[in-house]
Structure 1
Amino acid sequence: MRVSGVLRVLALIVAIVTTWIIIRNCMGFSTKTIRLPRWLASSTMETQVMKHKCGLIKPCPANHFAFKIGSGAANVVGPTMCFENHMIMSPVKNNVGRGLNIALVNGTTGAVLSQSAFDMYSGDVKHLEKFLKEIPKGALVLVASYDDPGTKMSDEARKLFTNLGSSYAKQLGFRDSWVFIGAKDLRDKSPFEQFLKNNPNTNKYEGWPELLEMEGCVPPRPF
């Protein structure tokens, strides 16, 4: 027999032995040790995490509105604002702007009433003051900052936001991050608010703090 023939036979024998060892080892595994990825689970299980309105992991209780608000990231990515699975404001919709992005929602039906962006760096704060003074009773006020929400902020505007239930409007300043949901004539401070001060020692981005994300379920007015 030629050398090449011997080598072929030896290779075949090695392959057979190796295959037998692998099969034997696999048969020795307990089925309990086999863990499939979630997306490969049986049809009786969820193939992926169920998403609810606005991407929430859990559904909101009856008579509550689902929401998710994100502030802008530095001066690069604009804020997003979702309410009852409706994306009210976002960079994709091209209806956000530098400063404060505000949407009004009917506190009973959840219908969007209006949305607007106010430039708080080079704009006229009088436009913001007028908008806040004309908020109808029963409306929810959703706010998300982008880039700079505080340079043009006036004492009057701070007072109006405070009357909507804000705990941080009085200290809102240059390039701070802020998300907030309030309403007129609240009996207490709103539980839906996040604030992050612009601080060179703790900023996530160069010159700006980290973006804020707030989500949850808000009951109809009043809170």
Structure 2
Amino acid sequence: MPHPSTLGVLLAGGLARRMGGGDKPLKTLGGVTLLDRAVARLTPQCDGLIVNANGDPARFAALGLPVVADTVPGFAGPLAGIVAALEWMERERPDMAWIVSIPTDSPFLPGDLVARLHQAREAAGTPLATARSGDQTHPVVGLWPVALLADLRRALVEEDLRKIDRWTARHGVAEAIWPTEPYDPFFNANSPDDLGEAEAVLARFPEA
């Protein structure tokens, strides 16, 4: 069943301390940047992509995608990126009502991510959906409706709320579940060691 039009949001605003600083999305895996892998994985599933990143947007110019900075100051975390993306969509793409957010350090994202998140949301009757693999939830990988933008911005600005699952629990969030074998589709490459582990996965499973 076709899912509603959805804007893909590549969250690239982290500080990458464990990776030694710099832009973690521009680190390479199998000769391809993590950001390019994320774009390739999400493009067929979405009706447009944007990058959420702070600082000079020119470093992502080669992608040819809009780069949207946080509108809430102080590096307020992933929720600030989601607010900025929802605001951008409300202004620039009023034909759409949903965004899907992904971290750009997850190189093995599933090809049915968006469809299965929408299915989980519809089956549960909730306005939000997130991914889970095994016994671990991934709050940054989720569906967000523009209808909840005002509430999310209020929580972030007035309540200084930073933890994603504290806010999603208020509204109801469904889970779409994936297995962790033969590899975890939501594996995070947070450090040089993680990148080495991801290279090993890619060597064993070139289609990953």
| TM-score normalised by the chain length of structure 2 | 0.27
Higher helix share: 2
Q: Which has the higher contact order (CA 8 A, sep 6+)?
A: 2
| TM-score normalised by the chain length of structure 1 | 0.26
Higher-Rg member (1/2): 1
